[in-house]
Amino acid sequence: MSMERTLNHHTTRRKVKVLVAKIGLDGHDRGAKVIARALRDAGFEVVYTGLRQTVEQVVAAAIQEDVDIIGVNQHEGSHIYIARKLVEKLREYGADDIPVVMGGSIPVVDVDVLKSIGVKEVFLPGTPIREIVDKLMKLAEERRRTGRV
Amino acid sequence: MATKDYVLSLVERAERGDRRALGRLLTILEDVSSETAWVLEYLAGRSRGAHVIGVTGIPGSGKSSLISRMIRVLRDKGYRVAVITIDPTSPLSSGAILGDRLRMQEHATDPGVFIRSVTTAGALGGLSLSALAMIEAFDALGYDKVIVETVGVGQSETHVMHAADTIVVVTMPGAGDDVQALKAGVLEIGDIYVVNKSDKPEASKTYEYMLFVAEKGEIGRSGAWKPVVVKTSSTLGMGIRELVEAVEKHLEYLRNSGEKLSRLSSRRRLLVKLLAEKIVLDLLDKVAEEELAKTHEGLEGFYKRAIEIARTTGEKLLNLKIQ
């Protein structure tokens, strides 16, 4: 049955659309690219905005693309500052229904801090791709059920 | 799901400059169905005569970077610019990476620019229909220039290109000197030809070659317009002003010759045809599904069954009333 639905393109739902972003001066995008690729292979539509973006640029892209999720990858230690600014900007633009997830070199002790700021999921190094895909899928479904522009 | 009131409120909010509403409206237009077809008519009725510019060319010729450079010049001239970038979905995995936008991110926060990426698979109603629907939306919302970027392969993308007022074909040194490649498909329908990456060796050779075939009239759409060839380099920012001038000149030609109106009516004709196709296909799907449910499982006699389904589906379709 599920097979039939995926084959029948007239009734298939829109694919999950994710924005993968790197914010600030962090120049390490290997991880972001691996994630982008893995999500593509899992059937997601991935918008990659490239290196050294500002929070404003990422929020603008998320709004124009009408993405289901924003995924931020950070490796240089500014994840708390960036998470705070990002969540703030999303609220300012009335786009805080778009869930934010984070990944990269993030110390375990910061996970709760990030979640208290409003980050929905934090993926630490070594998280299996499968787990990321499942959690993103769930977040996207939840937003589509409840979120309305 | 998308009620009439909701869609209308999105249009209204988008008109007031609410970019979230526009983003969502475009999502609805990605999959136009018979329930939402009225939106197209509504939007088309509010057309403000946008200049639709199709940019096509082989992968890697630098289309996205070139468009980013063009946006800057167009913005300097005071135009509001919308961009629709179409990225092909991998045939191996059903997903896609939308990377065109990356080259244009410097314009993301400019309130006079709106960039939207579509994948060939994401366009559920068929690529051409989705792209055409989005063009109507941007046109109705007062964007002066609507740029559509495609890799220029496949029938549906040729469709999209034919909906453009001005077609820019991008090539690069070392790729344009093959007569066969030029003669086939979308590369022959340009109004303006760009030799990008002209900072590279052999650029002059490619340019001379393009100039030669253009002057001979071997490439280019029919009409009194003579195709223009421009040398550019997105990296160095070279030739961008000349390119934009050529695009503007072409628009002037279209207006003076009355071709602008005929381009609009052919775009609309295509829209109606694609919409009709979509509505018929949706109905066909529904009836075929019902018929399929009646057949027994198993592989035997599937050919016979396919014919049977095609016949009964057709009969049922003829008796269906479309409201």
- Band (pLDDT 50/70/90 cuts) for residue B153 is low
With contact defined as beta carbons under 8 Å apart, do B125 and B30 qualify?
yes
Show contacts of B3-8: CB within 8 Å, 24+ apart: B4/B38, B7/B36, B7/B39, B8/B42
- Band (pLDDT 50/70/90 cuts) for residue B115 is very high
A138 has pLDDT over 80: yes
Lowest mean pLDDT among A5-14, A49-58, B74-83: A5-14
From chain B, the residues in CB contact with A8 under 8 A are 285, 289
For B266-321, write each residue's pLDDT tens digit. Answer: 899 988 888 888 888 888 888 877 777 776 665 566 777 788 878 887 888 777 76
Note whether A63 contacts B99, CB cutoff 8 Å: no
pLDDT at residue B125 in the model: 58
A12 has pLDDT over 60: no
Of B30, B90, B101, the CB nearest to A14: B30
Note whether A45 contacts B122, CB cutoff 8 Å: yes
pLDDT at residue A136 in the model: 96
A9 has pLDDT over 60: no
pLDDT at residue B177 in the model: 53
pLDDT at residue A125 in the model: 93
- Band (pLDDT 50/70/90 cuts) for residue A8 is very low
Rounded mean pLDDT, B132-141: 96
Nearest CA in chain B to A13: B124
Which of B160, B156, B159, B158 lies closest to B147, judged by CA?
Answer: B160
Contacts for B284 with CB less than 8 Å, ≥ 6 apart: B313, B317
From chain B, the residues in CB contact with A19 under 8 A are none
Note whether B20 contacts A93, CB cutoff 8 Å: yes
Note whether B95 contacts A49, CB cutoff 8 Å: no
Q: Which residue has the higher pLDDT, B274 or B22?
A: B22
The full set of domains in chain B, from first to last, is: 46-259 (3.40.50.300), 273-319 (no CATH)
Number of H helices, E strands in chain B: 11, 8
Note whether B281 contacts A10, CB cutoff 8 Å: yes
With contact defined as beta carbons under 8 Å apart, do B146 and B139 qualify?
yes
pLDDT at residue A6 in the model: 33
Longest Cα pair distance anywhere in chain B, in angstroms?
Answer: 67
pLDDT at residue A119 in the model: 98
Lowest mean pLDDT among A4-18, B36-50, B165-179, B305-319: A4-18
Q: Which residue has the higher pLDDT, A5 or B248?
A: B248
**Residue owning tokens 């609009």:** B264
pLDDT at residue B124 in the model: 60
Which helix (H) or strand (E) segment holds residue A101: the answer is: strand A100-104
pLDDT at residue B295 in the model: 66
Chain B contact for A39 (CB, 8 A cutoff)? yes
Q: What are phi and psi of B40, to 5 degrees?
A: -60, -45
Rounded mean pLDDT, B128-136: 90
- Band (pLDDT 50/70/90 cuts) for residue B114 is very high
For B79-113, write each residue's pLDDT tens digit. Answer: 999 999 988 776 677 788 888 899 999 999 999 99
| Residues on chain B bordering chain A, Cβ-to-Cβ distance under 8 angstroms | 10, 19-24, 26-27, 30-31, 90, 93-99, 101-102, 105, 108-109, 114-117, 119, 121-122, 124, 281-282, 285, 289
pLDDT at residue B288 in the model: 78
For A26-38, write each residue's pLDDT tens digit. Answer: 888 898 999 999 9
Angle between helices A129-146 and A30-41 in degrees, nearest 10: 70
pLDDT at residue B194 in the model: 94
Give strand pairing partners of A69: A18
- Band (pLDDT 50/70/90 cuts) for residue B2 is confident
pLDDT at residue B300 in the model: 63
pLDDT at residue A10 in the model: 33
- Band (pLDDT 50/70/90 cuts) for residue A129 is very high
pLDDT exceeding 90 applies to what percent of chain B? 49
A122 alpha-carbon distance from chain centroid? 10
The DSSP secondary-structure symbol of B221 reads -
CA distance A93 to B71: 24
pLDDT at residue B46 in the model: 94
For A53-84, write each residue's pLDDT tens digit. Answer: 999 999 999 999 999 999 999 998 999 999 99
The CATH architecture to which A17-142 belongs is 3-Layer(aba) Sandwich (3.40)
- Band (pLDDT 50/70/90 cuts) for residue B180 is very low
Angle between helices A55-65 and B19-29 in degrees, nearest 10: 40
pLDDT, averaged across chain A: 88
Among A residues 100-129, those touching chain B with beta carbons less than 8 Å apart: none
Q: Starting from the edge strand earliest in sequence, which strands make up the sheet with A121-123, in order? A: A121-123, A100-104, A69-74, A17-21, A45-48, B96-98
Domain locations along chain A: 17-142
Note whether A66 contacts B23, CB cutoff 8 Å: yes
Strands (E), A10-99: 17-21, 45-48, 69-74
pLDDT at residue A4 in the model: 32
Of B20, B94, B97, the CB nearest to A63: B20
pLDDT, averaged across chain B: 86
